[in-house]
Amino acid sequence: MPVGNRLSKARVCRRQHELAQLKDEYSRALEAIQTEVDIAVRELRTSYMEIDAKSLALAAAAEVNTIQQRWMRSMDGGGSASLNLESLLRAMERVTEAEREYTTSILTYNLASVNLKRANGTLLQSENVSVNRSCENGCQLMQLNKGDSYGVAPTLPLETIDSEFAIPANVEAVAPAAPSTDH
């Protein structure tokens, strides 16, 4: 009979050490996930604010109609059409740039939304993708199937990040609703 049962005690000690390492690894993984979700939430909020700002810039650039009417009147009245035409072209250029920036901000918002869904682990569900796993000839297979979503506008489902921040349900991707700002 072994003196003091040293082998068993050594095994228990080693298992406890392995368990402590696994717990530490698990804690680090949870912290990394929480950080990733926090970053995704911040990106979503920032991109929403950018959409709002670009929307206002787009509305301000809509002065084209006023300048175009002035140009038409100057053409009828024989005024300085070239100055008005130049103003009209500059205004149209500003509108085009504002539209491009607005579209870019919508794209950024949609990418941030996808990133948030990915960080939350809900991307496949929100896109109606099912995962089928099988084993064939000793090889594990994984097949992804996309459900039918033809003719449906993209929407953002309700996904609560925490009690203080939520993305409203059924908000079209091109016209996002304002997320709560008190975090």
Q: Enter the tokens of residue 102.
A: 């607005």
Q: How high is the mean pLDDT of the chain? A: 77
179: three-class secondary structure by DSSP? coil
Give the C-alpha separation, 84 to 92, whole Å.
12
pLDDT at 79: 61
pLDDT above 90 for 13:
yes
Cα dist from 34 to 39, 95, 108, 121, 157, whole Å: 9, 40, 22, 12, 20
One-letter amino acid at 33 equals I
The full set of domain ranges for the chain reads 9-172
Phi-psi category of residue 137: left, alpha or beta, with phi > 0 → left and psi -120 to 50 → alpha: left
Q: 21 or 176: which carries more pLDDT confidence?
A: 21
pTM over 0.75: no
Give me the mean pLDDT over the 14-42 stretch. 93
What is the bridge-based pairing of β-strands 159-162 and 155-156?
Answer: unpaired
Give me the mean pLDDT over the 63-72 stretch. 74
Q: 104 or 169: which carries more pLDDT confidence?
A: 104
175 — pLDDT class (breaks 50, 70, 90): very low
CA distance between the termini of the chain = 63
Q: Nearest CA to 174 among 59, 37, 48?
A: 48
Give the C-alpha separation, 60 to 148, whole Å.
40
Q: Any idea which of 86-100, 108-122, 142-156 has the lowest mean pLDDT?
A: 142-156
